[in-house]
């Protein structure tokens, strides 16, 4: 009887441990929204999930603990930062650059290393037209599922491509999907980077039309807003809504007294590392 009770107790303990482990997965505050580049699939296969450790810290807690390193918005002044992820992409990036040039507006482009390497002329155009370039990893993995070493390799690999193309190492990093671990934030802080997410999501990655994208941005934007849009996407992606909405977004927010700046100006930091 005693032996049977001991077996039952051990089984119950295992069930409790299993439930606790399953509940420890981070509850991310940003949606898993960006389209994976078709060209990066081979690189992604080289990665394995990071080892399971202590309970992950969620993005809200990381934001509080590392407020000087991890930014989600700027100061509450009449400034807005337009940011564009996943480029450069010859289908969409040139059209976005054309709009920004016509409007005289500067923006921040978080580029993927795999595309920066493939389209150096677009990288040079972004730079020569006065926009800021940030690091969006090489192959667009979810860093929450990667080790610190894998995170480091993705960042440094892309940084080298950017430096060889436009002549500087970006200070700003945007993790794909907005996801990152505490150990990765600590590495970024130690090495002089600033991590930047957003507080206004256009949701243009869904292939939305102009009016919906415009409503998503203007209905949420305020002083110090960092707006997420895209200048590139995977096979079959459609960013025509972004291209069509962008002039009206700029006009509307300027009429409300907002001034468009790049993230280095908004966050009062340097552009280069």
CA-CA distance, 273 to 15, in Å (whole number)?
A: 49
Q: Smallest Cα–Cα separation from 100: which of 267, 262, 269?
A: 262
Q: Which of 85, 89, 204, 262 is catalytic?
A: 85
Q: Smallest Cα–Cα separation from 188: which of 159, 158, 148, 160?
A: 148
CA-CA distance, 167 to 162, in Å (whole number)?
A: 7
Q: Smallest Cα–Cα separation from 113: which of 180, 178, 45, 43?
A: 43
CA-CA distance, 36 to 139, in Å (whole number)?
A: 8
Q: Which of 131, 136, 144, 230 is catalytic?
A: 230
Question: Phi then psi for 215, rounded to 5 degrees?
Answer: -65, -40
* Catalytic status, residue 85: yes
Is 148:184 a contact under the CB 8 Å cutoff?
A: yes
Compute the chain's Rg from CA coordinates: 21
Three-state secondary-structure class, residue 121 = helix
Q: Which residues are catalytic?
A: 85, 230
């Amino acid at each position: 009887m005693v032996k049977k009770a001991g077996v039952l107790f051990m089984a119950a303990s295992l069930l409790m441990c299993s439930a606790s482990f399953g509940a420890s997965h981070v509850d991310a505050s940003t949606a898993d929204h960006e389209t994976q580049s078709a060209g990066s699939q081979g690189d992604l296969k080289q990665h394995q999930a990071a080892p399971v450790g202590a309970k992950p810290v969620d993005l809200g807690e990381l934001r509080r603990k590392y407020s000087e390193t991890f930014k989600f918005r700027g100061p509450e002044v009449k400034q807005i930062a337009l940011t564009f992820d996943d480029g450069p992409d010859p289908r969409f990036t040139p059209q976005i650059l054309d709009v920004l040039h016509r409007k005289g507006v500067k923006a921040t482009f978080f580029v993927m290393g795999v595309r920066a390497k493939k389209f150096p002329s677009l990288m040079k155009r972004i730079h020569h037209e006065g926009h800021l370039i940030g690091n969006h990893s090489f192959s667009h993995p979810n860093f929450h599922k990667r080790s610190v070493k894998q995170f480091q390799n993705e960042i440094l690999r892309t940084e080298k491509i950017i430096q060889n193309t436009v002549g500087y190492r970006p200070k700003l990093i945007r993790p794909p999907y907005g996801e990152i671990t505490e150990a990765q934030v600590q590495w970024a802080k130690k090495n002089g980077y600033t991590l930047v997410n957003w507080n206004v999501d256009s949701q243009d990655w869904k292939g939305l039309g102009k009016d919906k994208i415009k409503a998503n941005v203007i209905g949420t934007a305020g002083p110090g807003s960092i707006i997420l849009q895209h200048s590139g996407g995977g096979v079959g992606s459609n960013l025509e809504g972004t291209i069509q909405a962008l002039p009206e977004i700029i006009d509307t927010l300027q009429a409300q007294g907002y001034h468009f700046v790049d993230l280095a100006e908004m966050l009062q930091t340097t552009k280069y590392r």
